[in-house]
C-alpha cells in the first residue's frame, strides 16, 4: 500500500513514497517517516491531508488517496528559517555588526527562534532555542563539528591533530578524547591546586603597587595575563613571569596565541576568496600558528619527564606523578599500552593552553565587572570567603573541595557565566538536510550556531533574564537541570563540549576568592563598556577598575 509523503511546498522535491502496509501503529509509521526525512525530534510529527486536516490514525493514512504533508507544528509547513534581507556582497553584515550579540537578540525577537544570516557570502543559521541547541550539540547522525568546512567559524584554525580545532570525524578525535579529559578531571585539578594558587598570587605585587598608586587598570589586559599565567603553569609547568612589574607585557607565547586567535577570527569574517591571497590575515594565521607550535614544543622539552615511567589511564592516581598536563599526555598509556602519538600531544597542548586562557581571561574580566556593577555581590563574597578562610590567613592553599564548597561564590560564577557568557559561536555542521523543532529545514552542509548568550537570556526560559541574580542558583541541581534542557550551557554540551570546565571553574573561583579577600574593586570605566565583536570570545575592551588593598583582611 504505497503512500506519498512530502515536506515543504507541495510538488517540491522533498517527497517519498512508502509502503505503509507493514506498519502496525501510527507511532511506528511516524518514527520511520521522521527517520527518512531527518526530523531531529521524532516525537512531534503531524500528518496533514490536502484539505489541511490532521490525519491521526493509521487507518486514516491507509484510506486516504491524498498526498500527505509532514509538519512539526499543526499550522506551519516545513521551511527554511527566516532572516533579514541580504544586500549584495556584504549580505547582512550591517544588520549584525558591530553589536553582534545585541543584534542576534533583536533578530530573534523579530524573526523567531531560528534565523538565517549571510555575512560576506557565508550563510549561517543561529538559534536562541534551548531545545534546538540540544539537537545541534548532540553529535549524532544529523549534526557534527567539522572545522575543515570552509564556512565553519574555526576554519582558519582547523587542525586535525587536536581537540577543539579538529573535526569529530578526524582520526585524532577519539584518542585525544581518551587522553585529554583525564588531565582536567576533579582529581587532576585537585592535584594542580598549588600551581593554580601560586600563579594566582603572582599578581599580588603588581596589584599592591597599583593600589598604592591609585591607578585604574584595564581589567581584561590583566586578566589575560593572569589566566595565561595560570594555564601555562598547569599545562606546561612554566612560569611566564607576567607580573614582574605592573607594566610587564604578556610573554611571547601568549602574545602569539592572542594574535593567532585574533587573526583567525578576522579572517573568518572576510569573504571566502580572501583565503587564496598570499598575504593578509588568512596567510598570516598559518605563519603565526607555526611560531606557536615551535614555542610550545620548546616548552615541552623542559617540562616532560622523557625517561619517567609510563602513567596508566587505568590508575586513578597516575596523574599525581605528572608535573603538568603536557607531561601526563606524553607519558600516559591506555590499557593496551598505547600512548598518544607525539603530534597529537603537541596539538593538544597548544589547544588546551589556547582554549583555556582565552575563555578564562574573559570570564575573569566579566567576574570583576559583575563585582563592581551589581551592588552587594562583592561584600557578600568577601563575607563568605572570610568565613571560610577565617584565621587561616591568605597563605594557606585552597583545597579543591574547599573552594567548591563556597555556595555564594559558586552561584556568583554561575550567574556570570549565564549573563556574560564568554562563548558565543559554538557552531555545528548539518550532515544532511535536517528538520529541527519548530519545523525549520536546515540544508545539508549548513552551519548552525547555538547562541549561548541569547539562549541564556531567552525570556521564555528565564525569569527576569537581564537581572544579575546569583541567588537564582541557590536551588541545588538547578544548573544540571537547565543544562540538560539546553538552556544553560556556558561550556557547550555533548561530545564536543568543553573538557576543561573543571579546571576553568576551579581557577576562576580561586582567582576571585584570592582577589576579593585582598582587594576591593570599584568601577573606573570612563565610558559605557563595550565588547570586542571581532574576537573568538566575548571580551570587554574598555572596562577599567580601581583597586584598593583591604585593611580589614584577617
The residues that touch ligand HEM, with contacts defined as CB under 6 A, are: 145, 163-164, 231, 351-352, 355-356, 359-360, 363, 422-423, 426, 490-492, 496-500, 503-504
Q: Which is nearer to ligand HEM, 145 or 414 (CB)?
A: 145
As measured in angstroms, the least distance from the Cβ of 553 to ligand HEM is: 27
Q: How far is the CB of 529 from ligand HEM (least distance, A)?
A: 18
Task: Pick the closer one to ligand HEM by CB: 103 or 352.
Answer: 352
| Strand-by-strand arrangement of the 217-218 sheet | 217-218, 544-549, 519-523
Which residue's CB is nearer to ligand HEM, number 37 or number 328?
A: 328
CB of 66 to ligand HEM, least distance (A): 43
To the nearest whole angstrom, how small is the minimum distance from the Cβ of residue 427 to ligand HEM?
A: 6
78 or 124: CB nearest ligand HEM = 124
Residue 529, C-alpha cell as written in the block: 563598556
Task: Compare residues 70 and 124 and give the one whose CB is closer to ligand HEM.
Answer: 124
Q: Which residue stretches of 112-158 are H helix?
A: 130-136
264: nearest Cα among 398, 158, 368 = 158
First-residue to last-residue Cα distance in the chain: 82
DSSP 156: G
Rounded to the nearest 10 degrees, what angle do helices 186-201 and 501-518 cross at? 30
* C-alpha cell of residue 34: 521522521
CB of 128 to ligand HEM, least distance (A): 16
- Is residue 177 classed exposed, middle or buried when 0-12, 13-18 and 19+ CB atoms within 10 A define those classes? middle
- Hey, what's the cell of 278? 598570499
CA distances from 44 to 134, 232, 366, 485, 518 (A): 16, 48, 40, 17, 55
Q: Cβ of residue 107: shortest distance to ligand HEM, in angstroms?
A: 21
Considering the complex, state which of residue 111 and residue 501 has its C-beta at the smaller distance from ligand HEM. 501
In DSSP notation, 287-344 reads: HHHHHHHHHHHHHHHHH--TTSPPEETT-TTGGGG-SSHHHHHHHEE-TTS----HHH
Q: How far apart are CB 42 and ligand HEM at their closest, in Å?
A: 25
Is the Cβ of residue 389 or residue 414 nearer to ligand HEM in the bound state? 414
Judged by CB, which is closer to ligand HEM: 504, or 510? 504
Nearer to ligand HEM, 77 or 228 (CB): 228
Sheet containing strand 447-450, edge to edge, reads 114-119, 122-127, 447-450, 426-430, 143-144
d(CA 407, CA 474): 8
Residue 303 assigned as binding residue: no
Min CB(157)–ligand HEM separation in Å: 11
Q: Tell me if residue 126 falls in helix, strand or coil.
A: strand
> Parallel, antiparallel, or unpaired: how do β-strands 15-19 and 46-48 relate?
unpaired
Angle, CA of 431, 432 and 433, to the nearest 5°: 140
CA distance 149 to 262: 19
- How many whole angstroms separate alpha carbon 545 and alpha carbon 548? 10
State the residue number with the nearest CB to ligand HEM.
500
| Count of all residues that appear for the chain in the document | 554
Q: How far is the CB of 550 from ligand HEM (least distance, A)?
A: 26
Q: Taking the complex as a whole, how short is the minimal distance between the CB of residue 51 and ligand HEM, in angstroms?
A: 45
Closest CA to 232 of 202, 259, 262: 202
Choose between 47 and 236: whose C-beta lies nearer to ligand HEM: 236
CA dist 202 and 322 (Å) reads 23
Pairs from 14-23 (Cβ < 8 Å, separation ≥ 24):
14/78, 14/433, 15/67, 20/58, 20/61, 20/62, 21/62, 23/58
For ligand HEM, the closer of residues 437 and 500 by Cβ is: 500
Max distance between CA atoms of the chain, in angstroms, equals 85
CB of 153 to ligand HEM, least distance (A): 8
Q: How far is the CB of 414 from ligand HEM (least distance, A)?
A: 12
Residue 227: closest CA among 534, 504, 548, 518: 504
Q: Between 129 and 159, whose beta carbon lies closer to ligand HEM?
A: 159
* Known binding positions for heme: 498
* Known binding positions: 498
Amino acid at each position: 500500500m504505497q503512500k506519498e509523503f512530502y515536506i515543504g511546498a507541495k510538488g517540491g522535491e522533498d517527497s517519498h513514497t512508502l509502503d505503509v502496509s507493514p506498519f502496525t501503529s501510527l507511532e511506528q509509521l511516524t518514527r520511520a517517516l521522521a527517520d527518512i526525512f531527518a526530523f531531529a525530534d521524532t516525537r512531534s510529527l503531524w500528518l496533514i491531508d490536502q484539505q489541511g486536516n490532521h490525519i491521526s490514525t493509521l487507518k486514516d493514512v491507509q484510506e486516504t488517496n491524498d498526498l500527505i504533508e509532514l509538519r512539526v507544528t499543526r499550522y506551519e509547513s516545513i521551511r527554511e528559517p527566516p532572516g533579514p534581507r541580504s544586500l549584495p556582497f556584504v549580505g547582512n553584515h550591517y544588520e549584525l555588526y558591530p553589536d553582534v550579540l545585541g543584534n542576534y537578540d533583536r533578530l530573534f525577537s523579530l524573526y523567531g527562534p531560528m534565523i538565517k544570516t549571510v555575512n560576506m557570502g557565508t550563510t549561517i543559521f543561529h538559534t536562541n532555542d534551548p531545545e534546538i541547541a540540544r539537537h545541534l550539540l548532540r553529535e549524532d547522525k544529523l549534526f557534527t563539528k567539522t572545522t575543515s568546512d570552509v564556512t565553519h567559524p574555526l576554519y582558519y584554525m582547523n587542525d586535525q591533530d587536536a581537540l577543539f580545532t579538529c573535526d569529530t570525524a578526524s582520526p585524532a578525535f577519539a584518542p585525544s578524547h581518551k587522553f585529554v579529559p583525564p588531565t582536567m578531571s576533579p582529581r587532576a585539578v585537585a592535584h594542580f591546586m598549588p600551581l593554580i594558587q601560586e600563579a594566582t598570587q603572582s599578581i599580588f605585587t603588581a596589584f599592591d603597587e597599583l593600589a598604592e598608586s591609585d591607578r585604574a587598570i584595564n581589567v581584561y589586559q590583566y586578566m589575560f595575563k593572569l589566566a595565561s599565567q595560570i594555564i601555562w603553569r598547569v599545562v606546561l609547568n612554566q612560569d611566564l613571569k607576567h607580573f614582574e612589574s605592573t607594566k610587564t607585557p604578556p610573554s611571547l607565547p601568549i602574545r602569539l596565541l592572542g594574535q593567532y586567535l585574533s587573526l583567525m577570527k578576522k579572517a573568518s569574517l572576510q569573504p571566502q576568496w580572501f583565503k587564496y591571497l598570499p598575504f593578509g590575515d588568512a596567510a598570516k594565521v598559518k605563519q603565526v600558528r607555526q611560531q606557536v607550535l615551535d614555542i610550545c614544543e620548546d616548552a615541552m622539552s623542559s617540562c616532560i619527564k622523557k625517561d619517567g615511567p609510563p602513567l596508566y589511564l587505568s590508575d586513578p592516581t597516575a596523574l599525581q606523578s605528572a608535573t603538568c598536563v603536557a607531561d601526563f599526555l606524553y607519558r600516559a598509556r591506555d590499557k593496551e599500552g598505547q600512548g598518544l602519538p607525539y603530534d597529537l600531544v603537541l596539538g593538544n597542548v597548544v589547544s588546551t593552553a589556547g582554549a583555556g586562557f582565552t575563555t578564562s581571561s574573559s570570564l575573569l574580566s566579566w567576574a570583576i565587572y559583575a563585582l563592581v556593577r551589581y551592588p552587594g555581590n562583592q561584600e557578600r563574597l568577601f563575607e563568605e570567603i572570610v568565613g571560610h578562610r577565617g584565621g587561616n590567613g591568605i597563605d594557606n592553599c585552597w583545597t579543591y573541595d574547599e573552594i567548591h564548597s563556597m555556595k555564594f561564590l559558586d552561584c556568583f560564577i554561575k550567574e556570570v557565566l549565564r549573563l556574560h557568557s564568554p562563548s558565543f559561536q559554538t557552531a555545528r555542521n548539518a550532515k544532511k538536510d535536517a528538520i529541527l523543532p519548530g519545523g525549520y529545514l536546515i540544508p545539508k552542509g549548513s552551519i548552525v550556531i547555538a547562541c549561548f548568550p541569547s539562549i541564556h537570556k531567552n525570556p521564555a526560559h528565564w525569569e527576569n533574564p537581564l537581572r544579575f541574580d546569583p541567588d537564582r542558583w541557590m536551588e541545588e541541581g538547578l544548573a544540571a537541570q537547565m543544562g540538560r534542557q539546553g538552556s544553560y550551557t556556558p561550556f557547550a554540551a555533548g561530545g564536543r563540549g568543553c573538557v576543561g570546565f573543571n579546571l576553568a571553574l576551579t581557577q576562576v573561583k580561586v582567582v576571585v576568592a584570592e582577589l576579593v579577600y585582598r582587594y576591593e574593586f570599584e568601577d573606573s570605566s570612563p565610558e559605557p563598556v563595550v565588547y570586542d565583536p571581532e574576537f573568538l570570545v566575548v571580551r570587554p575592551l574598555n572596562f577599567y577598575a580601581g583597586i584598593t588593598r583591604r585593611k580589614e583582611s584577617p
